[in-house]
Amino acid sequence: MKVLVTGGAGFIGSNVVDGLITAGHQVLVVDNLYTGKRSNVNPEAQFFELDIRAPQTAELIKRERPDIIDHHAAQMSVPDSVSDPLFDADVNIKGLLNLLEAARKSGTGKFIFISSGGAIYGEASEYPTSEGYQPQPLSPYAVSKFSSEHYLEYYRHQYGLDYTTLRYANIYGPHQIPHGEAGVVAIFMDNLLKERQSTLNHFLEDEKGMVRDYCYVGDVVKANLLALEKGAGDFFNIGTGVGTKTSELYNAIVKTFKEMMPELPEKLATLRKQVARPGDLTKSCLIIEKAHRVLGWVPETTLQKGLQETLKWRVNMP
């Protein structure tokens, strides 16, 4: 199949591109390199430096007529969405609509949309949280993602454009940059490599940090490959079902460093603490039974193994 991946020069998108090419698909990449890197793009993919909001992107879709659009490009930072909700909506909603209009005019068969299981549910009373829980987004980023899910259903109902929505937990792994909450693994590793102390964002009632569901990017790639042919008109949590506090994550990363790079200075094992940022949630963890039942997907990588593979990539270990 011919698959167009938006954000294919970014962290998750570039990993998905690699997986698609390995599986034998023809891949087009659209990325404006705002946070992505040209060096991330698989040389076997066709690369187009374009913004998803641009008319040229719509023209590309109409010309190339991809079978599937896998949409990873986004304004992804919760704090940034709080400080600039107009920009967040411009990228995440206007950009989506530009793609959807081009997709339905070009006869694209399916749209894979990346939503956020780590944000749209808000401070969920159901924990861990299933897809049956009514989302209660508490940040402009979460609002834009949930609104986008409604647009997808409209385009399916009105024009017959099939879709599958993947609601990601907190994803980590190779190609991740130390930027924003979603990049906390990269931030901690970057600080340790540069011998800088890391900061723990926390709520006053629990100084061990927020709880998140950390899923390795290699497992996420498999979910995208399955979504090419499964999950029509539906949405799925993609995570591990295991909640990890930020302090526990940091300790696991320090342990990984000590095992693989024993020269780590002991003084870096402690965290500097500060109060959580606007838009941060106290805890988030996803129930993933539906993805297993419908897509046939299960996460296979433990946190320990995922951190080892991520550190190998960051320091160019074999």
For residue 172, pLDDT over 60 is answered with yes
Q: Catalytic residue among 121, 133, 141, 216, which?
A: 141
3-state secondary structure of 19: helix
- The DSSP secondary structure of 150-213, one letter per residue, reads HHHHHHHHHH--EEEEEEE-EEE-TT--S-SGGGHHHHHHHHHHTT--EEEEEBTTBTT--EE-
Residue 26 one-letter amino acid: Q
In the structure, what pLDDT confidence band is assigned to residue 204 with cuts at 50, 70 and 90?
A: very low
DSSP 8-state assignment for residue 126? S
Q: Which residues does residue 39 pair with via DSSP β-bridges, in sequence order? A: none
For residue 37, pLDDT over 70 is answered with yes
pLDDT at position 118? 82
pLDDT per residue over 141-169, tens digit each? 999 999 999 999 999 999 999 999 999 99
Average pLDDT value for residue range 123-130 = 94
pLDDT at position 77? 87
Average pLDDT value for residue range 192-202 = 81
For residue 318, pLDDT over 80 is answered with no
Give the C-alpha distances (Å, rounded to integers) separating 270 from 5, 22, 310: 40, 41, 21
List domains and CATH numbers for the chain.
2-171+215-239+287-299 (3.40.50.720)
Q: Name every residue whose Cβ is closer than 8 Å to that of residue 85 and which is 6 or more positions away in sequence.
A: 140
For residue 11, pLDDT over 70 is answered with yes
Computed from CA positions of residues 145, 30, 157, 154, in that sequence, does the dihedral angle turn out positive or negative? Answer: positive
Relative to beta strand 162-168, strand 234-238 is: parallel
Average pLDDT, the chain: 92
pLDDT at position 198? 86
pLDDT at position 102? 98
Percent of the chain at pLDDT exceeding 70: 92
Between 277 and 244, residue with greater pLDDT: 244
Residue 141 is among the residues annotated as catalytic for this protein: yes
pLDDT at position 207? 57
Query: How many Cα atoms sit within 13 Å of 189 on the Cβ side?
Result: 28
pLDDT per residue over 214-233, tens digit each? 999 999 999 999 999 999 99
For residue 170, pLDDT over 80 is answered with yes
